[in-house]
Amino acid sequence: MLAVASLATVLTACGDDAEPGAEVTLLTHESFALPDSVFDTFRRETGLTLKVVRSGDAGQLASTVSLTPGSPKADAVFGIDNTFASRPIEAGALEPYASPMAANGAAEFAVPGSNNELTAVDRGDVCLNVDDSWYSDTGQQPPTSLRDLRDPKYAAQAALLDPGTSSPGMAFLLTTIGLFPNGWQDYWKSVTGGGATVVSGWEIAYNQLFSAGEGKGDKPIVLSYASSPAATAGTSAILDSCFRQVEYVGVLKGAKNSSGARKLVDFMLSPTVQAALPSAMYVYPVQKDTPLPDGWQQRAPVPTYTVSLPPQYIAQNRESWLEQWREAVGR
């Protein structure tokens, strides 16, 4: 996701009867989207007006929070993922809060070694997607593994993402590091040398280059999410290539309304929000027994195996890995 200018939106769920000052501000990324009816429920249950401030992608969000410890631009933050989680935690920019709601599933996705500074809300597993209709129409066999991209035939058919500018791009880089710890650089040399296209963000790759996307491009392989086939008929995800990307919510240290921020954390784990996440944001809920939309079990099953690296390990090696990646692909 590409960073764009931030904007502030006061959701229509506020109502005219909200008490003056009864407001909680949420800092989040540009892809945050939930139905107004969800926030109607939040307003009824808490009496709080929710003000949403959107700012860039997960990386920019983590940087913004990390650079303002104790002087936050909001009360709570949503959208920092596990590839960036250690940065705001180590900066002391988050207030620990153990939500009682987390015991029903969210706690299983807690940041290792943390003190409840961040609470898991959803997971969106990053992996390769394939346009099965394209392969059927052309009489070709689709790839079945990310390893197949070493074949120039498949490499030239792939649209991948720059890990330096894209959160899912970073997730895929981490996938290759996890799967090929002693040879991931050679993997990337092979894939890009074989003709893979690497672009700056998901919108370009999926909606312009992907043959099943809005732009009906010429690439039948794209880096996206395991849940994407639920929205795009005739596609499927290669489930051996997934990195578990978890998004978190947290209370910002120094928040003007820390009590309201804690109520928002609880609300993000409520059945109301968890059930709305798949249709609204194409991610999987973290709370147990949350129903998925019709067809998800068939078109977008949750991967049974995902690559996962500790956030602190990612933080310690991110810049070195990016430098090695640029050298490997000649960028």
Phi, psi of 277 (to 5 degrees): -60, -45
Selecting from 3.40.50.2000, 3.40.190.10, 3.40.605.10, 3.40.50.1970, what CATH number does the domain 7-123+246-299 have?
3.40.190.10
Average pLDDT in the 173-202 region? 96
Average pLDDT in the 251-273 region? 98
Residue 240: predicted pLDDT: 86
Residue 236: predicted pLDDT: 96
Which CATH topology does 126-243+303-329 take? Answer: D-Maltodextrin-Binding Protein; domain 2 (3.40.190)
pLDDT at 4 over 60: no
Average pLDDT in the 229-242 region? 93
Residue 2: predicted pLDDT: 32
For the ranges 152-161, 270-279, 291-300, 315-324, the lowest mean pLDDT is seen at 291-300
| Model pLDDT for residues 110-142, shown as the tens digit of each residue | 999 999 999 999 999 999 999 999 999 999 999
Residue 220: predicted pLDDT: 98
pLDDT at 161 over 80: yes
Report which residue type is found at 85.
A
pLDDT at 13 over 50: no
Burial class (CB in 10 A: 0-12, 13-18, 19+), 281: middle
| Model pLDDT for residues 63-102, shown as the tens digit of each residue | 999 999 999 999 999 999 998 899 999 999 999 999 999 9
Q: Is the pTM of this model over 0.75?
A: yes
Residue 35: predicted pLDDT: 94
